């Protein structure tokens, strides 16, 4: 988990700020050819590749993508702006169709996307958000892709109509993903839990406000509260104290509360789903009279 305190909107602005320039753009800004050469020799200006310059200290992934001959894309770009992605261990770069003379990536695990480009120009170092979404849907397993879409919708970075426009040019199998999204999900773990509950066939509500308790992530069958605890939002004794007070308040109203750990929900989902199913099976009869 990062300590980045910027909002998602601020991170989007930062990521899409022009940071890579052509020689002509540098000249238009007031630099002479001698100035450019001197800055490159001094190391204050980096020549990433022919006619692509950046101020020293540019993001390493951006520098590498431009050096190779492409732009940052897919889950690499989405992660940088604070959108949920399940895993992003390698750099994803998009190369325009027909690109030639690409340089070899420094890391052999770098993923190169060669698929059709929307044609949106954007900055020299990053693809458009819609292109990144399209690439990410192909690179992730379905539940992770749905969680990414939930995150995008929750932060209001795109509309459902825009996602529909992306899916419209993709194979038909991707159409079902949009139907399973819910912008009320505030984290990837909430998306995964929602899909587990859907698979279990139980009745559930999301983001429910209970008088005297507050807002909870899920209420299942009217009696079971599920909170998807993560280190980011539940660490520290003060927060744990608050959670325990809420749990007691909920119990006094007749609710049972369970708090699966976000990491288990995301990376051991089968185990968590089985545990939730057991809780519902064993305790459910006491509340339904079955």
pLDDT tens track for 165-176: 999 989 999 999
pLDDT of residue 229: 80
- pLDDT for res 1: 44
Q: Is residue 194 pLDDT above 80, yes or no? A: yes
Cα–Cα distances (Å) from 144 to 20, 147, 169, 188, 272, in that order, read 31, 5, 20, 8, 16
Expressed in percent and rounded to 5, the helix, strand and coil fractions of the chain are 50, 15, 35
Q: Which residues, in sequence order, are bridge partners of residue 45? A: 55
Window from 40-54, 64-78, 113-127, 137-151 with minimum mean pLDDT: 113-127
Strand arrangement of the beta sheet that strand 71-72 belongs to = 71-72, 92-94, 111-113
Q: Is the pLDDT of residue 47 over 90?
A: yes
What integer is the mean pLDDT of 43-70?
A: 94
Identify the DSSP state of 261.
Answer: B
What average pLDDT does the structure give for the chain? 90
Average pLDDT over residues 248-267: 95
| Per-residue confidence (pLDDT) for residue 119, from 0 to 100 | 67
Query: What pLDDT sits at residue 188?
Result: 95
Question: What span, in angstroms and rounded, lies between the C-alpha atoms of 160 and 168?
Answer: 12
Write down the pLDDT at residue 233. 53
Instruction: Kindly state the helix (H) or strand (E) to which residue 93 belongs, with its residue range.
Output: strand 92-94
pLDDT in tens, 201-247: 999 999 999 999 999 999 999 999 999 987 655 566 677 788 899 99
User: What is the three-class DSSP state of 68?
Assistant: helix
Three-class DSSP category at 276: helix
Of the pLDDT bands very low, low, confident and very high (cuts 50, 70, 90), residue 158 is very high
Confidence check: pLDDT of 2 > 60: no
**Model's pTM, two decimal places?**
0.89
Q: Would you state the torsion angle of the CA atoms of residues 140, 146, 149, 154, taken in this order, to the nearest 10 degrees?
A: -140
Sheet holding 52-55, edge to edge: 20-21, 52-55, 45-49
pLDDT of residue 240: 78
């Amino acid at each position: 988990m990062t300590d980045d305190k910027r909002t998602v909107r601020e991170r989007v602005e930062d990521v899409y700020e022009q940071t890579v320039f052509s020689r002509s753009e540098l000249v238009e800004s007031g630099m002479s050819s001698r100035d450019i050469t001197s800055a490159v020799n001094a190391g204050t200006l980096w020549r990433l590749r022919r006619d692509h310059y950046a101020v020293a200290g540019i993001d390493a992934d951006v520098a590498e993508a431009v050096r190779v001959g492409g732009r940052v894309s897919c889950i690499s770009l989405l992660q940088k702006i604070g959108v949920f992605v399940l895993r992003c261990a390698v750099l994803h770069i998009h190369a325009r169709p027909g690109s030639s003379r690409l340089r070899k990536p420094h890391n052999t695990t770098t993923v190169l996307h060669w698929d059709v480009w929307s044609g949106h120009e954007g900055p020299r170092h990053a693809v458009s958000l819609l292109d990144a979404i399209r690439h990410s849907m192909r690179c992730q397993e379905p539940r992770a892709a749905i969680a990414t879409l939930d995150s995008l919708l929750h932060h209001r970075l795109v509309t459902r109509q825009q996602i529909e426009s992306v899916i419209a040019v993709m194979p038909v199998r991707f159409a079902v993903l949009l139907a399973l999204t819910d912008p009320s999900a505030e984290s990837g773990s909430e998306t995964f839990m929602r899909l587990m509950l859907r698979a279990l066939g139980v009745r559930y509500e999301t983001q429910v406000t209970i008088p005297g308790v507050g807002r909870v992530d899920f209420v299942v069958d009217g009696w079971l509260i599920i909170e998807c605890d993560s280190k980011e939002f539940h660490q520290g004794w003060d927060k744990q104290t608050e959670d325990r007070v809420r749990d007691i308040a909920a119990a006094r109203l007749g609710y049972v509360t369970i708090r699966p750990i976000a990491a288990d929900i995301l990376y051991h989902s089968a185990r968590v789903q089985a545990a939730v199913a057991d809780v519902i099976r064993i305790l459910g009869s006491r509340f339904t009279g079955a």
